[in-house]
Amino acid sequence: MAKRIWVTADTHFGHHNAISLFARPIAAGDVDAMDTFLLDQINSRVARSDRLIHLGDFTGPREWKGDEGDLSRRYASTLRARIACKRVELVRGNHDPALKHIRELFDDVHDILSFRGWTGGDERIVCCHYPLRTWQGIFDGAVHLYGHTHGTFDALGRSCDVGVDCWQYGPVLLDEVIEKVIAHAPPGRSELLPRRQPMCAPAQK
């Protein structure tokens, strides 16, 4: 069987305030229960041989330098070890540390991930933690997947929030997301708004 690709974002493992901030179905303050719940959601969907792309904020805000940084790395490593999927990639979010602190935990780490093709078509897929206003191939049908907003941001064109708070607290199949998103036609170049910023004045001689 062909390997499936799953996408997710914004697990915020270890983030006590995430339970109330994002209305997660966990008793207030029980971060261990939240972590276990989210890990179970991953492992119940994603097979060991599948590919999981995590679009940022693997953990919540943490200190990643000094002695506290060592604790954070051990904590994140323990979480990664509890994910059964062999191949997990990270697209860094605002709560993820610099590459040097986290690259050993994942099979690959990106700031933006752009690739072409999925099992049902040839659309380009552009993954970023943040929702973009424009992206590579936007006029040619490319799809943009993001996190960060926890379902509070209106999607633009062929874009979609793949965070756990939008998909029953777990990953979603890439094919399922793309099938929904490509039902929307890509924007045409004629839809571009007139220039809103003034053009730069020539330098004075």
Mean pLDDT of 58-76: 95
Please tell me whether residue 104 adopts helix, strand or coil conformation. helix
Q: Is residue 201 part of a domain?
A: no
Q: Is residue 144 part of a domain?
A: yes
Q: Is residue 202 part of a domain?
A: no
Q: Is residue 142 part of a domain?
A: yes
Mean pLDDT of 24-51: 97
Give the per-residue pLDDT at 204. 67
Give the per-residue pLDDT at 39. 98
In this predicted structure, the answer to whether residue 47 has a pLDDT above a threshold of 50 is: yes
pLDDT bracket for residue 79 (50, 70, 90): very high
In this predicted structure, the answer to whether residue 1 has a pLDDT above a threshold of 50 is: no
Q: In the chain, what percentage of residues exceed pLDDT 90?
A: 81
pLDDT tens sequence across 87-138: 999 999 999 999 988 999 999 999 999 999 888 889 999 999 999 999 999 9
Q: Is residue 163 part of a domain?
A: yes
Task: Say if pTM beats, i.e. exceeds, 0.85.
Answer: yes
> Number of folded domains in the chain?
1
Of 9-18, 34-43, 94-103, the range with the lowest mean pLDDT is: 94-103
Mean pLDDT of 157-170: 96
Mean pLDDT of 166-185: 95
C-alpha distances in Å from residue 61, one per residue of 18, 29, 152: 10, 15, 20
Give the per-residue pLDDT at 185. 86
Q: Which two tokens stand for residue 143?
A: 């799809």
Mean pLDDT of 3-28: 96
Extended strands (E) in 34-192: 51-54, 87-91, 108-110, 112-118, 121-128, 143-146, 159-161, 172-173
Q: Is residue 196 part of a domain?
A: no
Q: Is residue 12 part of a domain?
A: yes
Specify the higher pLDDT residue, 195 or 60: 60
CATH of the domain at 45: 3.60.21.10
In this predicted structure, the answer to whether residue 2 has a pLDDT above a threshold of 70 is: no
Q: Is residue 181 part of a domain?
A: yes
Residue numbers of the domain that contains 124: 5-191
Mean pLDDT of 162-177: 97
